[in-house]
Amino acid sequence: MAEPENQAEREAYYAKIDKTDMSPLWTTTLVPPKPKDFVRSVPHLWDFDNELCPLLTEAGGLITAKEANRRVLSLENPGLDKPPRILESLYAGLQMILPGEVAPAHMHTPSALRFILKGKGAWTAVSGEKSYMEPGDFIITPSMTWHDHGHDGEDPFFWMDGLDIPMVAAFGPMFFEPYPEDRAPESRPPGDSLARYGANMRPVGETWDKPESPIFSYPYARSREALEELRKNDEWDPYAGIKLEYIDPTTGGAAMPTMSTFLQLLPKGFKTEEYRTTENTVYSPVEGTGRVIAGEPGEEKTLEWKPRDIFAIPCWVPYRLEADTEATLFSYTDRTAQQKLGLWREMRGNA
């Protein structure tokens, strides 16, 4: 466009505005036409065996779980500035606890999930219920609930923490409270919540009105068995293989109020078709090897994955998965938060 006749006056006006707590909307792009003009995170993979595990093991010799409160390496997307985030709306970290340690009890407003990567003998206690953890298990820590972790086994124990910290921070109500002692009191026996609600039943006269699932621990063995049963139908989604969502059995909705969680099965040699979604997605393979090809045409990045690796796919970035061997992958996203706000959408293929 040709320069307006009053350009000098405009520039003088903008200089005046720049000294105030205001800005002229018409000189900025507040709402870009597409997510790629706003989203800064990039597809990225963290290698568990060659990067995460050795570095966190080294930290184990430098600081105790009690000193650190939580011995965690935050996963920082290379496209984002601090504070640490794996994607715009999601936090992820890798946590390690050593035999005999206790990670002190505390509670906070952000909701958290644990996805167990490696080890035996460790446990987490949520709202007074203790759950021993096995690789592949998905565990919920709801907002403002006491939780602590311990390890009765013999070797280092690792899991991925997923939190909605960036979402909570956007609203502002960030609260954290330590418990006076290392352990919060146990009020229910291990497995109580799964017994009450995990068999499509619930105790007579008992209701549940909280925003998260009443089940705190979703064992991998049960979830994996469900995938195997569905395999018998031979109904493979070309964009996801067989993909199941962890749900709140009392509502049928997502197990957590702000984050959706999934487990999917890809048979050997399976290649998904191109898929994109507005949800920010964090993956961690449980079994098998393969790759993800992510990015716009001409900008695609190939990331080779194996068990316990962690990789991130940003909002509206097209991607496809390829399995070299039979594979299962856990993922968590911000889908349920987006759906509640009327923001979520997907695109299957190039349509």
Phi, psi (rounded to 5 degrees) for 27? -100, 0
For the question of whether the overall pTM of this predicted structure is more than 0.85, the answer is: yes
- In the chain, where are the structural domains located? 36-348
CA 314 to chain centre: 12
Give me the residues of the chain with pLDDT under 70, please. 351
Contacts of 335 (CB under 8 A, 6+ apart): 254, 260, 277, 279, 344
**Is 294 strand, coil or helix?**
strand
Q: How many CB atoms lie within 10 A of CB 179?
A: 15
Under a CB-based contact definition with an 8 Å cutoff, are residues 83 and 116 in contact? no
Which pLDDT belongs to residue 350? 77
pLDDT for 351 equals 62
pLDDT recorded at residue 3: 85
Note the pLDDT of residue 293.
98
pLDDT given for residue 2 in this prediction: 79
Q: Report pLDDT digits (tens) over 103-155.
A: 999 999 999 999 999 999 999 999 999 999 999 999 999 999 999 999 999 99
Place of tokens 């900008």: 299
Q: Which residue has the tokens 């184990």?
A: 60
- CATH number for the domain formed by residue range(s) 36-348: 2.60.120.10
